Chain A
Amino acid sequence: MTWTDEEIRDDGFDDWLDAVAADEGYHLECPDGHASLPPRLVCPDCGATDLSEAPLADAGEVVTHTTVHVGTGAFDDQTPYVVAIAEFDGVRITGLVRGVDPDDVDVGAPVEVTVGENPATGDRVVVHRAR
Chain B
Amino acid sequence: MSRVRVAGVGLTEFGRAPERTGRELFAEASARALDDAGVDREAVSALHYGNFMGALGERQGHQAPLMAEAAGLRCPATRYELACASAGAAVRGAVQSVRGGEADVVVAGGMERMTNRTIEETTEALAIAADELFEVRAGVTFPGAYALMARSYFERFGGGPADLAHVAVKNHANAVPNEYAQYREEIAVDDALDAPTIADPLGLYDSCPVTDGASAVVLVSESYAEENDVDASVAVVGSGQGGDRLALQDRASPARTPATDDAAAEAFADAGCSREDVCAVEVHDCFTIAEVCALEGLGFYDPGEGIGAARRGETTADGGLPVNLSGGLKAKGHPVGATGGSQVAEMTRLLRGDHPNSDAVDGTVGLTHNAGGTVASAVVHLLEVVE
Contact of A85 among B143, B197, B200, B254 (CB under 8 A): B254
Inter-chain contacts of B248 with A (CB < 8 A): 85, 94
How many residues of chain B are within 8 Å of chain A by beta carbon?
A: 34
Contact (A71, B139) CB under 8 Å given A66-B200, A94-B247? yes
Contact of B197 among A69, A76, A92, A123 (CB under 8 A): A69
Contact bitstring B124-146, A, C-beta under 8 A = 1, else 0: 10010000011111111101100
Question: How far is it, in angstroms, between the C-alpha of A75 and the C-alpha of B199 when the chains are bound?
Answer: 13
Is the CB–CB distance between A96 and B199 below 8 Å? no
* Docked pose: A126 CA to B249 CA in angstroms: 13
Given contacts A10-B133, A44-B250, contact A67 B200 (CB under 8 A): yes
CA distance A69 to B135 in the complex (A): 17
CB of B155 within 8 A of CB of A125, answer: no
Q: Is A130's beta carbon under 8 Å from chain B?
A: no
Task: Tell me the complex Cα distance, A24–B146, Å.
Answer: 31
Q: Does A107 contact B (CB under 8 A)?
A: yes
Which of B120, B136, B138, B141 neighbours the largest number of chain A CB atoms within 10 Å of its CB? Answer: B138
Q: Which of A31-68 contact B (CB under 8 A)?
A: 36-37, 44, 63-68
User: In the bound complex, do residue A92 and residue B141 qualify as a contact, i.e. CB atoms below 8 Å apart?
Assistant: no
B117 at the interface (CB under 8 A from A): no
Assess whether B148 is in contact with A66, with CB atoms less than 8 Å apart. Answer: yes
Alpha-carbon distance A92/B97, docked complex (angstroms): 40
Q: How far is the CA of A92 from the CA of B135 in the complex (A)?
A: 12
Contact of B151 among A36, A70, A75, A107 (CB under 8 A): A107
> Roughly how many angstroms separate A96 CA and B135 CA in the complex, as a whole number?
10
Give Cα A69 to B201, complex, Å.
11
CB neighbours of A13 from chain B (8 A): 133
Residue B245 CB within 8 A of the other chain: yes
Give Cα A92–Cα B94 distance, bound, in whole angstroms.
Answer: 38
For residue B64, CB closer than 8 A to chain A, the reply is no
Of residues 102 to 136 in B, which have CB atoms within 8 Å of A's CB atoms?
Answer: 120, 123-124, 127, 133-136
Could you tell me the distance in whole angstroms from the C-beta of B335 to the nearest C-beta in chain A?
A: 19
- What 1/0 mask marks residues of chain A from 75 to 111 whose CB sits below 8 Å from any chain B CB? 1101001011100000011111000000000010000
Closest 9 CB pairs of A and B: A66-B147, A64-B152, A92-B249, A72-B123, A73-B124, A94-B138, A64-B151, A68-B144, A64-B148
